[in-house]
Amino acid sequence: MSFQGYLKTIKEKTGKEPADFRQLAEEKGFTKNGDLLAKAGDVTNWLKADFELRHGHAMAIYALLKGIKNEDSE
């Protein structure tokens, strides 16, 4: 699945855009001023518990928060 495919599926499942996850991560203390402070496991566990995302989808959001990918990535 492409990164865009992951983002589309995540939006369909949660109703949330990448910007929403960035804001939520900041509120949870996983990021500060856009810099990721948390480990991958902490972020994916949060996304799995709160949004019922599967591992691959949670890792896509982690990649977004870490700056590995962005909304325009393939």
What pLDDT is attached to residue 20? 98
pLDDT surpassing 90 at residue 74: no
For 22, 30, 41, the CA distances from 19, given in Å and listed in that order, are 5, 14, 21
41 membership: H or E segment, kind and range: helix 40-51
pTM of the model as a whole = 0.94
pLDDT digits (tens, 9 = 90+) for 1-48: 899 999 999 999 999 999 999 999 999 999 999 999 999 999 999 999
